[in-house]
Chain A
Amino acid sequence: MSRQPWALAVLFLAAICIAQGQNPLANNRKAAKAGEYEFRINCALCHGLGARGGGRGPDLTRAQKKHTHNDAEMFQTISNGIPGTAMPANGTNGQGVGMTDTEIWQIVTYIRSQEVKASAKMSGDPVHGKQLFFGDGNCSMCHMVDGKGGRLGPDLTAVGGSRTREAIIDSIRNPSRRLAWGLTESTKEFPQEYETVTVVTEDGKQIQGVTLNEDSFTVQIMDSGEHIYLLEKDKLKSLKTSRESMMPKYEANVLSDKEVDDIVAFLASVGAK
């Protein structure tokens, strides 16, 4: 009984706020706590505990987000997903049962509260980083940024805006430690994990490349010359798949900490656009 007037007031407030695209629970600490648990249940699978990115999903502790400029847009993103990406609409990822509007606002509040804590200052020199990326670092032989570069590895145009600095450095220093993460079945339309595959064809030709896709009977490969091979497994002499990345390990004697910082700063400057 005693809860009812309060609940009505919140509903009324919520109606006004939503009409204006505002979060009715903005800066509400209790809501942020509730949102943290909702986040764990519904979002952490891809975005990681603490919203700092999980390999599949972007780091959400960054203040600047590619698809979301204000709370109302974040609410829409969570509700409807992002077409063309692995971000599913609320309640359709097969994990959770879906959230109510209030629960979504709690998550928005939680994500905002995490942003305050994260300090995303970049120490590197993006101009020098760009030179390294397209020059001596050889990154662009396999990676594209803004339409320039190679196709063998993932396009890195958006990576600076979606991954933490630590995650990018880790991928440069230890590329095999974590390949692109596979996705759960419900979002399997984005299956590429960049595994390394080596095959020997019937006529003895050896091909090494990354898998574009694979099932039990066929494999689709791109090699370092960006040739695409469409192969039937039972017609191959041998096939070996490895989670050892084709990307070389960039140790400190190849790229110094300062140089890595510069590359990260470059990627961040592009990704922030």
Chain B
Amino acid sequence: MMPLSTSATIYRPLYLSVLGGLAPRSQRFRLCAVVLLALSASHTHAQVTAERLLNSAKEPQNWLTYSGDYSGKRFSPLDQINAANAHTIVAKWVYQTAATGKFETTPLVVDGVLYATGPDNRAFALDARTGRPIWMYQRQVPSDIRPCCGRVNRGVAILGDKVFFGTLDAHVIALDAKTGAVRWDTTAADYRTGHSFTVAPLAVKNLIVIGISGGEYGVRGFIDAYDADTGERKWRFYTVPGPGERGHDTWEGDSWKVGGAPAWNTGTYDPVTNQICWPTGNPAPSNRGAGRAGDNLYSNSLLALNADTGKLNWYFQFTKHDEHDWDATQVPILIDANGKKVIAQADRNGYFYVIDRTNGKLISATPYGKTTWSDSKDSDGRPVANKNASPTLNGHTVCPGALGTTNYMPPTYDPQTRLVYVTARDQCDIFSTAPQPYEAGHAFYGSAYFPSEEAEPYLGFLKAIDPVTGEVKKKFQHTSPTWSGVLSTAGGLVFSGDAEGNFIAFDAASLKPLWHFQMGGAVYAGPMAFAVDGKQYVAIAAGSAIYAFTLP
């Protein structure tokens, strides 16, 4: 083994030759920084340790997890691109995947390399400065697979020298970060019974945490944690309790066996309490409550799990006994506001919830869009569904519709404006029942829904919400509802995309658009920011491509 002092001397002559007596004192620091940047650019692929993930704020040039950090804020401390110069932003590169279907990925960037996933089990690594591919991986999609809502994927997790992603056929795969070679491949469930992965996993300590999709097929939902080194499953939390487990009595008869409650969006992690906060989706069948009487725990809930054991510390259920497909699968944001440790979640059911993250108690629930399903609250302050909100044989209009006031698109919290920015939609749907027996691997909705004529046109917004009061402070109305996520940056900017293909930089305070670029494809993904060689970029997936923007 080479002693440290020896390796240091190897670099010293380089330093000295640059700095040695040539530069005035005032310039030495800057030169030194340039040299360090140059070194970091040529020495990519340092190990991404669990400590680096914990301290992601110390490396703002990198984007290390789905939401940028463990708190789910999707906030970048970079400020080179800011409100004063945003109007000069230019497209730097475009990476075409040649895939079809919705492109929902949030890329990660580590030391100049961008890692992302695409439709149909794709994963790839790019030179983040140029968009040139370093490696590409694609796992064959079985021909008999029928994923619910597109052959999508939302991204990778990174830990050590590996990147991790879940596949449409329910495998968890570890790829070599340098080559894309498969390092391990674990089958989590049988895809033929409707199990699939679309979520970006979360790396915590030495675990890869991932939640299953398949709420439209009557799977029994779960959240898994895998050993990052071996792929061995360390724990599984079933989101529908089995016999003898607490909450099992919230299911009628055997309905728990096909109860749904998938976990298809990336949760967050609170290192102080060692809790993973992970949201769950709809009970199955999604739009028919008959046959599954009860609250249907832990569907449409936020779960606080012990990161080491997967044991449940507390839960909060947003929508009890849901009959409208209102998955609570939104990224829960950990915020320290007014001296309280809270979780803010703009829920699909139209209410903005603030929860005490030490115990799961509800602090407030405030509507942030058009809702008609509730006009009362229970003793905890939780909105309660009206009796007449249930779907009927001939159809019954309820707001929000099945797509919800928001959906999976990731929101952001900007610590500078202290506002949560979320993509919102005003649309009501007609919910009608359609009895459907469970058959393994077949669609299991129990009903149909379609847009209500009286609600035309559907409206789409970017809304800024004060997490202390739940009040909508500012809003921007899109031409039509969008599926884009939102990014905030220290440059006083908020970035989002629209269904017409624009990528837009907003002034974070006023939500006035300062810049836009027509990308030629609708946005279904969340934006992120990174820096390489001291230059800031903002990137987003749209159409079938990834776009990177920077200053000229």
Contacts and interface: CB of A to CB of B under 8 A. Distances in A.
Q: Are A and B a genuine interacting pair, yes or no? A: yes
Interface of A: 36-37, 40-41, 44-45, 49, 54-55, 91-92, 94, 96-100, 178, 181-182, 184-185, 188, 193, 214-217, 243
B153 to A, nearest CB: 16
Nearest to A99: B443
Contact of B149 (A37, A94, A178, A243): A94
B451 interface: yes
B500 A243 contact: no
B435 interface: yes
Given A214-B479, A216-B516, A243-B457, A40 B432 contact: yes
Contacts of B453: 55, 178
A181 B319 CA distance: 31
A100 B501 CA distance: 33
Nearest to A102: B442
Contacts of A99: 443
Given A41-B443, A217-B502, A243-B457, A97 B450 contact: no
Contact of A37 (B435, B451, B513): B435
A215 B456 contact: no
15 contacts: A36-B434, A37-B434, A41-B434, A41-B447, A41-B448, A44-B450, A97-B146, A97-B217, A182-B457, A182-B458, A184-B451, A185-B499, A214-B500, A216-B479, A216-B502
B199 interface: no
B395 A49 contact: yes
Contact of B443 (A44, A94, A97, A243): A97
A191 to B, nearest CB: 8
A99 to B, nearest CB: 8
A49 B479 contact: no
A216 B498 contact: yes
Interface in B380-419: 394-395
B483 interface: yes
B148 to A, nearest CB: 5
Interface in B443-489: 443, 445, 447-448, 450-451, 453, 456-458, 478-481, 483
Given A97-B216, A217-B502, A182 B480 contact: yes
A49 B448 CA distance: 10
B432 A49 contact: yes
Nearest to B453: A178
A217 B516 contact: yes
A98 B483 CA distance: 21
A37 B436 contact: yes
A215 B217 contact: no
A40 B443 CA distance: 13
Given A37-B436, A41-B443, A215-B479, A188 B499 contact: yes
Given A45-B450, A181-B456, A215-B502, 12 more contacts: A40-B432, A40-B447, A41-B443, A44-B450, A45-B451, A94-B150, A98-B146, A182-B480, A184-B451, A185-B522, A216-B504, A217-B513
B148 A215 contact: no
Contacts of A181: 456
Interface string B349-391: 0000000000000000000000000000000000000000000
B147 interface: yes
Interface string B134-167: 0000000000001111100000000000000000
Q: How large is the interface on B (under 10, 10 to 19, 20 to 34, 35 or more residues)?
A: 35 or more
List the 7 closest pairs (A to B, CB-CB), nearest first: A40-B448, A215-B500, A37-B434, A45-B450, A97-B443, A41-B448, A98-B146
A105 to B, nearest CB: 15
Contacts of A185: 480-481, 483, 499, 522
B498 A97 contact: no
Contacts of A54: 450
B103 to A, nearest CB: 13
B148 A97 contact: yes
B478 A40 contact: no
Contacts of B516: 216-217
A92 B217 CA distance: 17
Of the listed residues A40, A91, A188, A214, the one surrounded by the most CB atoms of chain B closer than 10 A to its CB is: A40
A93 B394 CA distance: 23
Contacts of A36: 434
A167 to B, nearest CB: 12
Contacts of A243: 456-457
Nearest to A218: B518
Contacts of B479: 214-216
Nearest to A182: B457
A178 B395 CA distance: 20
Nearest to B194: A97
A181 B450 CA distance: 13
B442 A100 contact: yes
Nearest to B445: A41
Contacts of A100: 442
Nearest to B148: A97
In the complex, which of the residues A37, A54, A193 has the most CB atoms of chain B within 10 Å of its own CB atom?
A: A37
B147 A182 contact: no
A135 to B, nearest CB: 33
A243 to B, nearest CB: 7
A185 B104 CA distance: 14
A178 B101 CA distance: 30
A54 B447 CA distance: 18
A114 to B, nearest CB: 16
Contacts of B150: 94
A214 B518 CA distance: 12
A99 B444 CA distance: 11
Nearest to A215: B500
B310 to A, nearest CB: 29
Interface in B93-130: 101-102
Contacts of A37: 434-436, 448
Contact of B146 (A40, A41, A49, A91): A91
B73 to A, nearest CB: 26
Nearest to A219: B479
Contacts of B518: 215
Contacts of A94: 102, 149-150
Contacts of B501: 215
A2 B499 CA distance: 51
A40 B457 contact: no
Contacts of B149: 94, 97
Contacts of B499: 185, 188
